[in-house]
């Protein structure tokens, strides 16, 4: 069902986005990999995808920039002949307690995590509507469901994505277009490796007793991209943290 489709995956140079790109390629989809600066990493992932016999290209684009996102979608359409799937995975953190968080850190996280997804959906939706098909998955987080001390900006962006997901799902459902979210818990990537955490204490908060892998999140993303009768859903991949 994903065979021959074209997917845009933002934040695909590493971590969860790279795992989604690899998984989609293994299922026969062509992939447009988007990153913010680490184009060498994105190109390496793209080469892995091509080695699986599908088309893949890497692109530099700051998804927080409305116009740049528009140009990106236009370029992908030109390069691949269309766009069928969108995975809004690009994300950043700028952690800090509310009492000390700067306006710049709040804005930066909202601009990439939430507005970036809006920009990509805004520019892909007209294509999806014309085709009367398309599927979107947004990467939210358990922080958006539960809150997390030190992550007011991040949790707000991820909770905002859930509202955006459900609204887009309702607005586009009549044309057969789905929009869902995945809410990962603690996944082993650069993002979490950068956190100053006591790993043993952390594992005590996870019912399954371990952190997740990017591949486990990718599996859920691909499931939702394929599932034609699920829309507006938020699927946790969190080892039970937020149950």
Binding to ligand NAP (CB under 6 A): which residues in 63-82? 63-64
**Least distance to ligand NAP from the beta carbon of 132, Å?**
28
**Partners of 8 in the beta sheet?**
32, 86
17 counts as binding ligand NAP under rule CB under 6 A: yes
Quote the tokens at residue 131: 């085709």
Smallest distance, Å, CB 8 to ligand NAP? 11
| Closest C-alpha to 27, from 59, 52, 58, 62 | 52
- The number of angstroms, rounded, from the C-alpha of 93 to the middle of its chain's C-alpha atoms is 14
Q: Which of 59, 106, 118, 154 is catalytic?
A: 154
Rule CB under 6 A: say whether 35 interacts with ligand NAP: yes
- Minimum separation from the CB atom of position 45 to ligand NAP (A): 9
Q: Is 153 in the site for ligand NAP (CB under 6 A)?
A: no
Q: Rule CB under 6 A: choose which of 134, 152, 184, 239 binds ligand NAP.
A: 184
Of the candidates 101, 205, 208, the one whose C-alpha atom is nearest the C-alpha of residue 156 is: 101
C-alpha atoms less than 13 angstroms from C-alpha of 135 in its C-beta half-sphere: 21
36 binds ligand NAP (CB under 6 A): yes
Phi, psi of 218, rounded to the nearest 5 degrees: -60, -40
Q: What is the DSSP letter of 159?
A: H
Give, as ranges, the residues between 104 and 123 that touch ligand NAP (CB under 6 A): 112, 116
Among 26, 27, 28, 38, binds ligand NAP (CB under 6 A): 38
The correct pick among 6, 7, 15, 164 for binding ligand NAP (CB under 6 A) is 15
Asked if residue 10 binds ligand NAP (CB under 6 A), the reply is: yes
241 in contact with ligand NAP (CB under 6 A): no
Question: In whole angstroms, what is the distance from residue 103 CA to residue 85 CA?
Answer: 33
Asked if 154 is an active-site residue, the reply is: yes
The residue among 153, 149, 124, 160 whose CA lies nearest residue 7 is 124
For residues 54 and 142, which CB has a smaller minimum distance to ligand NAP in the complex? Answer: 142
Could you tell me if residue 190 is left (phi over 0), alpha (psi between -120 and 50 degrees) or otherwise beta? alpha
Tell me phi and psi for residue 163, to 5 degrees. -65, -40
Residues that bind ligand NAP (CB under 6 A): 10-17, 34-38, 41, 61-64, 89-92, 112, 116, 139, 141, 184, 186-187, 189-192
């Amino acid at each position: 069902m994903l065979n021959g489709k074209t997917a845009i995956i933002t934040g695909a140079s590493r971590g969860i986005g790279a795992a989604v790109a690899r998984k989609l390629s293994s299922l026969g989809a062509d992939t447009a990999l988007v990153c913010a600066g680490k184009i060498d990493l994105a190109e390496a992932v793209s080469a892995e995808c091509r080695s699986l016999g599908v088309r893949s290209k890497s692109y530099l684009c700051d998804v927080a920039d409305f116009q740049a996102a528009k140009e990106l979608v236009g370029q992908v359409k030109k390069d691949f002949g269309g766009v069928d799937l969108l995975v809004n995975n690009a994300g950043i953190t700028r952690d800090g307690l509310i009492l000390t968080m700067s306006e710049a850190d709040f804005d930066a996280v909202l601009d990439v995590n939430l507005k970036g997804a809006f920009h990509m959906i805004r520019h892909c939706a007209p294509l999806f509507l014309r085709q009367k098909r398309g599927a979107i998955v947004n990467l939210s987080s358990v922080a958006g469901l539960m809150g997390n001390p030190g992550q007011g900006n991040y949790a707000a962006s991820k909770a905002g994505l859930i509202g955006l997901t459900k609204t887009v799902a309702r607005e586009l459902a009549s044309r057969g277009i789905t929009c869902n979210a995945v809410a990962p818990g603690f996944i082993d990537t650069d993002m979490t490796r950068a956190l100053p955490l006591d790993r043993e204490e952390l594992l005590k908060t996870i019912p399954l007793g371990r952190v997740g892998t990017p591949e486990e999140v990718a599996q859920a993303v691909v499931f939702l991209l394929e599932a034609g009768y699920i829309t507006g859903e938020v699927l946790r991949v969190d080892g039970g943290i937020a149950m």
